[in-house]
């Protein structure tokens, strides 16, 4: 297969800093589009993968899965995009397209396993996938979404992972008027969850370990803020229909299951590397559920972008240049970001 030399920013090991490197992108096939990457968010999943928290990282790794850019080339059979269009790419760049879940637009549950945009074996084209910390990407048009022209471009990028990852379960568990929704953690996912659950009409309570973020949560749209390290505040907060857990590290799940109403659900989207322990008594009493949710499909990613455009929702970001990425990763590890780093990829070209 013909390839294109592409500038990227990645690392050769879990402990080495990220640096400039060259990768090969495939030349566009008939259903592919080529996208000049303008902005890419930094998700905690990028950090988990770079540091090999979950095991199985392929090095060199080029992370990045909240990609916003402009189409620069289209294959001869492409129908959905033309050169010059804005385009977005999230986590999914391929799936079997034949199983029940692919047919239902839930490629993230593809029975044959879907291909992640970075650090995955590319079953169809060979090699390992490289993500958005790079100057361009080639993707089959079926896995590319349209970006609304109405919102601030860099602040849209986090919708491609953080936004869809919280929108999908909030919708699935019917967040809306009359529902009490809890959000644990005010990071990239959590701050988008506050905005989206509020726009859906829910009464939103957030649980945070950070006093500084507690002071900011109402500005983000929360109705109620609980400092989770304060046992009195935890005891006195309203019972929840659903709690969305966005925490990236090991924490006490049972403390939150205790805050659910009868029939309530605690839904995990955070992916700590460590095992979590759940008390059987805590879910049996009150017929509670403990569940999880993985990003969202391509159609639903388009849906959340449109939803955010209608409700004027974007991420609160710190826009950085490529040379600030290593500092940003260190700060992300400490929870020191309000609330998403986004890389301006123009800085990679210079």
Residue numbers of the site for Zn ion (CB under 5 A)? 43, 45, 95-96, 99, 102, 110, 161
Taking CB under 6 A as the criterion, the residue among 45, 240, 301, 314 binding ligand NAP is: 45
**What letters, b where the CB count within 10 A reaches 16 and e where it falls short, cover 50-86?**
bbbbeeebeebbbbbbbbbbbbeebbeebeebeeebb
Cα(148)–Cα(310) distance, rounded to whole angstroms?
10
CB 156 within 8 A of CB 314: yes
| Closer of 34 and 90 to ligand NAP (Cβ) | 90
Taking CB under 6 A as the criterion, the residue among 74, 196, 335, 345 binding ligand NAP is: 335
Q: How far is the CB of 210 from ligand NAP (least distance, A)?
A: 4
Number of residues that bind ligand NAP (CB under 6 A): 29
Q: How far is the CB of 79 from ligand NAP (least distance, A)?
A: 29
51 lies in the binding site for ligand NAP (CB under 6 A):
no
270 lies in the binding site for ligand NAP (CB under 6 A):
yes
Q: Report 219-248 residues binding ligand NAP (CB under 6 A).
A: 246-248
Taking CB under 6 A as the criterion, the residue among 185, 197, 259, 288 binding ligand NAP is: 185
Q: Which residue has the tokens 């491609």?
A: 160
Q: Report 63-82 residues binding ligand NAP (CB under 6 A).
A: none
Binds 102: which of Zn ion, ligand NAP, none (CB < 5-8 Å by kind): Zn ion
| Closer of 7 and 331 to ligand NAP (Cβ) | 331
CB 132 within 8 A of CB 117: yes
Binds 110: which of ligand NAP, Zn ion, none (CB < 5-8 Å by kind): Zn ion
| Closer of 44 and 198 to ligand NAP (Cβ) | 44
What count of other Cβ atoms lies within 10 Å of the Cβ of residue 178? 9
Instruction: Using the rule CB under 6 A, give the single segment among 15-23, 56-64, 99-107, 180-188 that binds ligand NAP.
Output: 180-188
Structure tokens at 2: 């013909």
Structure tokens at 331: 């700060």
Q: Which residues pair with 245 in a beta bridge?
A: 184, 268
Binds 95: which of ligand NAP, Zn ion, none (CB < 5-8 Å by kind): Zn ion
213 lies in the binding site for ligand NAP (CB under 6 A):
yes
Q: Report 83-142 residues binding ligand NAP (CB under 6 A).
A: none
- DSSP tag of 61: B
171 lies in the binding site for ligand NAP (CB under 6 A):
no
Closest residue to ligand NAP, based on beta-carbon distance: 187
- CA distance to 10, 88, 199, per residue, from 68 (Å): 19, 5, 23
Cα(231)–Cα(198) distance, rounded to whole angstroms?
25
Q: How far is the CB of 178 from ligand NAP (least distance, A)?
A: 26
Structure tokens at 270: 């955070």
**Which residues touch 240 (CB under 8 Å, ≥6 apart)?**
180, 181, 182, 205, 259, 260, 261, 264
Structure tokens at 251: 């924490």
Instruction: Using the rule CB under 6 A, give the single segment among 69-77, 133-141, 185-193, 197-205 that binds ligand NAP.
Output: 185-193
| Closer of 60 and 158 to ligand NAP (Cβ) | 158
User: How does DSSP assign 83-140, residue by residue?
Assistant: TT-EEEE-SEEE--S-SHHHHTT-GGG-TT-PEESSSSB-TTT-SB---SSBSEEEEE
| Interface ranges with ligand NAP (CB under 6 A) | 43-45, 48, 161-162, 165, 185-190, 208-210, 213, 246-249, 251, 269-271, 294-295, 332, 335
């Amino acid at each position: 297969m013909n390839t294109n030399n592409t500038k990227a920013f990645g690392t050769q090991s879990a402990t080495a800093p990220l640096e400039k490197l060259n990768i090969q992108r495939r030349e566009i096939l008939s259903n592919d589009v080529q996208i000049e990457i303008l902005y890419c968010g930094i998700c905690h999943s990028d950090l988990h993968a770079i540091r090999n928290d979950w095991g199985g990282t392929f090095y060199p790794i080029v992370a990045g899965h909240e990609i916003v850019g402009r189409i620069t080339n289209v294959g001869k059979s492409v129908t959905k995009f033309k050169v010059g269009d804005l385009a977005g790419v999230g986590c999914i760049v391929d799936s079997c397209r034949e199983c029940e879940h692919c047919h239902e637009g839930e490629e993230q549950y593809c029975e044959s396993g879907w291909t992640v945009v970075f650090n995955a074996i590319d079953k169809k084209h060979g090699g390992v996938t490289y993500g958005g910390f790079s100057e361009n990407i080639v993707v089959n048009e079926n896995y590319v979404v349209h970006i609304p022209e109405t919102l601030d471009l860099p602040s849209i990028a986090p919708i491609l992972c953080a936004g869809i990852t919280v929108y999908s379960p909030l919708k699935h568990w019917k967040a809306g008027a009359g529902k009490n929704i809890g959000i644990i953690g005010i990071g990239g996912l959590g701050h988008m969850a506050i905005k989206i659950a509020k726009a859906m009409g829910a009464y939103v309570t957030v649980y945070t370990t950070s006093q500084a973020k507690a002071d900011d949560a109402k500005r983000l749209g929360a109705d109620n803020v609980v400092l989770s390290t304060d046992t009195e505040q935890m005891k006195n907060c309203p019972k929840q229909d659903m709690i969305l857990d966005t925490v990236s590290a090991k924490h006490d799940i049972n403390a939150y299951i205790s805050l659910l109403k009868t029939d309530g659900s605690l839904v995990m989207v955070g992916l700590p590397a460590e095992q979590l322990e759940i008390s059987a008594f805590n879910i049996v009493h009150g017929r509670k559920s403990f569940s999880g949710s993985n990003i969202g499909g391509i159609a639903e990613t388009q849906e959340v972008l449109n939803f955010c455009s209608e409700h004027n929702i974007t991420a609160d970001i710190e826009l950085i240049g490529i040379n600030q990425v290593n500092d940003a990763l260190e700060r992300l590890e400490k929870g020191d970001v309000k609330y998403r780093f986004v890389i301006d990829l123009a800085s990679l070209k210079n």
